[in-house]
Homo-oligomer: A and B are copies of this chain.
């Protein structure tokens, strides 16, 4: 049977990402892996979840496991909105917000609601591959925009938008991760956020702001520097998304979106035929967790855990990588980004390092939507024991030295 002929045009271009293929290789227990993108399961408040589940199931019985509303539990939507108002300065009504089954679903639905094949979407260089892959699966044109230390280079953005328009290509969306970006760990300046917002409003483009990591700031980082672009939004030009995956637990699969109602309404239609509703159990666990006031303590313990992990990594990087690599110390999030000298191919290093040193990481190139970045790599400190951070980075440094030009 000729299945290929039966596939949709979208399905014919779908691929599994290189990163997924690489992480498939690093599952063995004797590997020291800086590859995983996941938060550390020790930080998931499972004892509290257990307590909540006992309480809720005893009180609510089977209703805990019934279908729920497509756009999400209204009390949870309100609680999330209120939290974002207080801590991030975001002002939205519940009509502008909805819950989705994890950020990845939000990426997929936003893409689906906005992008036709060939439409242009602008992303940072590098950018999150789960986002660029979602956009590419709708056959949109992902344009990588250069970045400097303050964020996206807006001159480059403007020239790329203009070039796309000259080609007759509809320009719709600018996807950015201004806080502790995956993979680069970068933080946008507040000025650059304002300038991007002004640019988008002027040009009639939407900003899709992914704030998965904003609450994971390390000791010494002033959270006022992390205020989202959405806090500036008076005109409905910003679709904001965040998630409980990093601050609470990813296996619950709950994220949220604040956007202009014209967009969130369509996302709700998308969700109606897309998965009907998010796990009722997960939503109830999270709502109860918020209502008990446990998020503040949870945030503090997560932040201090990752601060310590990142510091351990900094110490080892300084001992072993100072002579030949460049990096800026991560100030939050889960990742440390590293640039090796030009000419070193991180994918080749990855293969040798995994096979001979049993050390894994993620080569940076797949995060560059239009190529480049062969000499970069992403190190996650989230799931590596402190002593293994030192051992792994020491081995990795020796491996890289052999590849130096």
Q: Which residues of A contact B (CB under 8 A)?
A: 1-4, 6-11, 14-17, 20, 38, 40-44, 46-47, 49-50, 53-54, 57-58, 61-68, 70, 101-102, 104-105, 107-108, 112-116, 119, 130, 133-134, 137-138, 172, 204, 206, 235-237, 245, 249-253, 260, 262-263, 266, 268-270, 272-282
Contacts and interface: CB of A to CB of B under 8 A. Distances in A.
A67 to B, nearest CB: 5
A3 B262 contact: yes
B116 A1 contact: no
Nearest to A282: B279
Contacts of A49: 57, 65
Contacts of A67: 38, 245, 250-251
Contact of A15 (B16, B253, B269): B269
Contacts of A278: 253
A74 to B, nearest CB: 12
A83 B250 CA distance: 29
A46 B41 contact: no
A236 B38 CA distance: 36
The number of times this chain is found in the oligomer is 2
Given A9-B116, A63-B41, A115-B8, A281 B269 contact: no
Contacts of A206: 6
A44 B15 contact: no
A14 B270 contact: yes
Contacts of A63: 41
A99 to B, nearest CB: 13
Contacts of A61: 41-42, 44, 46
7 contacts: A1-B204, A4-B262, A41-B66, A42-B62, A44-B61, A50-B53, A101-B253
B260 A279 contact: no
B269 A253 contact: no
A276 B65 contact: no
A272 B1 contact: no
B108 A273 contact: yes
Nearest to A132: B273
Given A6-B206, A11-B269, 7 more contacts: A1-B237, A8-B114, A11-B270, A62-B249, A101-B101, A108-B273, A275-B275
A11 to B, nearest CB: 4
The CB with the most chain B CB atoms within 10 A, among A70, A104, A276, is that of A276
Contacts of A46: 57, 61-62, 64-65
A251 B274 contact: no
A15 B272 CA distance: 9
A16 B69 CA distance: 13
A235 B2 CA distance: 11
B249 A275 contact: no
Contacts of A281: 251-252, 279, 281-282
A294 to B, nearest CB: 15
Contact of A68 (B251, B269, B279, B282): B251
Closest 3 CB pairs of A and B: A251-B280, A41-B62, A65-B249
A8 B273 contact: no
A44 B62 contact: yes
